């Protein structure tokens, strides 16, 4: 089943949350020296002291699992990304303190899970990692350039991204021992019925494409070469001897080649990235199970196969299955993971050291209109909340509070 832009957005949202969302950045990625910001930036200074940046923010069974330097780095990244979001208010002391507490709490949870996974005799084959990455490249990212921008914005290398994916797959295998991660037909059906108003769509076609990029669109020779190539390819797929999807996987020059050029359901009048006026007119005019004539687009020359055509109305369960599958799977995964974290946290000796978190002094009353709006937690199962202060997570978790500075001694009388 293909993915439309709504389905991609849903999966992108879950990826962002699971890898480097504003609420919960994953710990364990490569850290740098403590990052300091100027006044008003919200990132607490490390005071220029090596001891301060190396101070333990949290320990598990006496072992340091997160330091002030890591906390400062991740906080600076949150603020950097937040500042790039449109129409955002300045962050307040309270907002920044909440983020610091949540970063530390998430770091401890990740460390507990990683330690547990390390004790299990489970492995993830290279082929499994490659398959997962290939799926994401074909579904979430339109091309390698978009994937590169994602890595750059999250300050990751491909190697780090692959390592994170391998760890994620390992965690999935551990969680699968506790319960199935995959939503069943009953759960999918119930969600579909409860949200039926969402699936009311306009006229749509199920389409695939093959793209041949031009070396130089302004060069007549390059243009002719591209047109000749796409014409020859069209002959291959209309002769009845070769399947469109297989030819797309072989020759197409877009990331969607990995899924046979599948574009999913294209809705009439919706401005999708790969659809311009000429493409929309051609694919909605084409009969079912036919291939359009070559069309010149901003990408080069393309041909489109129309596999199905439906009038406006409520989309069927089959059409939206892939769209609702990933969020429901993420919800199951998060519930199982939280159950595991709670069990591990009760068995381990977890100690949070608030004094090392660089918390700022909060005003007694926040000025009206100050502080960024708190981002809504995403992907958490019903009833699971992010604690503002990890002291309330579980009984037995020790919190070493930040001590208030001692008042200056009164001057002695002369």
Torsion angle of C-alpha atoms 358, 42, 30, 391, degrees rounded to 10? 40
**414: in domain:** no
46-80 pLDDT, tens digit per residue, is 344 556 667 899 999 999 999 999 999 999 989 98
**Same-domain status, 299 and 332:** no
**Same-domain status, 45 and 167:** yes
| Residue environment code for 384-414, b if the CB has 16+ CB neighbours within 10 A, otherwise e | eeeeeebeebeeebebeeeeeeeeeeeeeee
**Same-domain status, 15 and 140:** yes
**Same-domain status, 88 and 165:** yes
Dist. CA 217–CA 224, nearest whole Å? 10
To the nearest whole percent, how much of the chain has pLDDT over 90? 46
**186: in domain:** no
**Same-domain status, 26 and 173:** yes
**Same-domain status, 246 and 393:** no
Dist. CA 304–CA 207, nearest whole Å? 7
At residue 10, the pLDDT reads 39
138-184 pLDDT, tens digit per residue, is 666 656 767 777 788 777 888 898 899 999 999 999 999 999 999 99
**Same-domain status, 87 and 155:** yes
Dist. CA 47–CA 26, nearest whole Å? 25
User: Can you tell me the mean pLDDT for 37-49?
Assistant: 39
In this prediction, residue 131 has a pLDDT band, given cuts at 50, 70 and 90, of: confident
In this prediction, residue 130 has a pLDDT band, given cuts at 50, 70 and 90, of: confident
At residue 241, the pLDDT reads 87
**183: in domain:** no
Report the range of poorest mean pLDDT among 95-104, 197-206, 276-285, 376-385. Answer: 376-385
201-240 pLDDT, tens digit per residue, is 889 899 999 999 998 878 899 999 999 999 999 999 999 8
**236: in domain:** yes
What are the DSSP calls for 267-328, one per residue? ETT---TT--HHHHHHHHHSPTTEEPPPEE-SSEEEEEEEEEEE-SEEPPHHHHHHHHHHHH
**30: in domain:** yes
Overall domain count for the chain: 2
**187: in domain:** no
Last residue in a domain, options 311, 333, 351? 311
**345: in domain:** yes
**Same-domain status, 123 and 253:** no
**Same-domain status, 46 and 79:** yes
Domain that holds residue 283: 203-311
In this prediction, residue 21 has a pLDDT band, given cuts at 50, 70 and 90, of: very low
**Same-domain status, 35 and 97:** yes
**Same-domain status, 255 and 385:** no
Last residue in a domain, options 251, 279, 311? 311
Last residue in a domain, options 287, 311, 335? 311
CATH code where residue 234 lies? 3.10.50.40
**Same-domain status, 285 and 389:** no
**31: in domain:** yes
Asked whether residue 358 carries a pLDDT value surpassing 60, the answer given is yes
Asked whether residue 313 carries a pLDDT value surpassing 60, the answer given is yes
Q: Measuring CA to CA, how many Å separate 362 from each of 242, 340, 392?
A: 68, 34, 20
233-262 pLDDT, tens digit per residue, is 999 999 988 999 999 999 999 888 888 999
């Amino acid at each position: 089943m293909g993915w439309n832009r709504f389905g991609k957005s849903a999966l992108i949202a879950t990826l962002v949350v699971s890898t480097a969302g504003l609420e919960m950045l994953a710990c364990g990625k490569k850290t740098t020296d403590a990052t300091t910001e100027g006044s008003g930036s919200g990132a607490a200074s490390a005071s220029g002291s090596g001891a301060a940046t190396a101070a333990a923010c949290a320990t598990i069974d006496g072992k340091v699992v997160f330091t002030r330097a890591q906390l400062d780095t991740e906080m600076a990244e949150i603020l950097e990304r937040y500042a790039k979001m449109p129409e955002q208010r300045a962050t307040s002391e309270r907002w920044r303190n909440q983020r610091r507490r949540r970063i530390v709490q998430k770091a401890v949870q990740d460390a507990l899970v990683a330690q547990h996974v390390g004790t299990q005799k489970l492995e993830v084959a290279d082929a499994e990692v490659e398959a997962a990455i290939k799926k994401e490249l074909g579904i979430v990212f339109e091309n390698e350039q978009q994937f590169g921008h994602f890595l750059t914005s999250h300050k990751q290398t491909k190697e780090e991204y692959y390592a994170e994916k391998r760890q994620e797959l390992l965690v999935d295998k551990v969680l699968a021992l506790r319960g199935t991660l995959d939503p069943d037909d009953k759960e999918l059906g119930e969600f579909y019925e409860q949200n039926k108003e969402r699936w009311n769509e306009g006229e749509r076609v199920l389409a695939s494409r093959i793209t041949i990029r031009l070396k130089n669109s302004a060069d007549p020779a390059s243009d002719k070469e591209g047109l000749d190539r796409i014409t020859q390819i069209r002959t291959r797929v209309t002769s009845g001897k070769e399947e469109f999807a297989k030819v797309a996987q072989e020759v197409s020059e877009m990331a969607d080649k990995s899924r046979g050029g599948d574009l999913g359901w294209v809705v009439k009048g919706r401005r999708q990235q790969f659809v311009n006026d000429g493409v929309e007119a051609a694919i909605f005019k084409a009969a079912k199970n036919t291939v359009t004539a070559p069309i010149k687009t901003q990408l080069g020359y393309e041909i489109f196969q129309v596999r199905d055509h439906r009038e406006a109305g409520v989309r069927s369960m089959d059409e939206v299955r892939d769209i609702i599958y990933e969020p429901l799977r993420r919800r199951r995964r998060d519930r199982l993971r939280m159950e595991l974290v709670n069990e591990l946290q009760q068995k381990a000796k977890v100690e949070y050291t608030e004094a090392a978190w660089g918390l700022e002094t909060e005003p007694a009353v926040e000025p009206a209109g100050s502080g960024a709006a708190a981002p809504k937690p995403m992907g958490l199962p019903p009833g699971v909340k992010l604690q503002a202060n990890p002291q309330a997570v579980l009984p037995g978790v020790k919190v070493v509070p930040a001590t208030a500075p001692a008042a200056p001694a009164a001057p002695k009388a002369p």
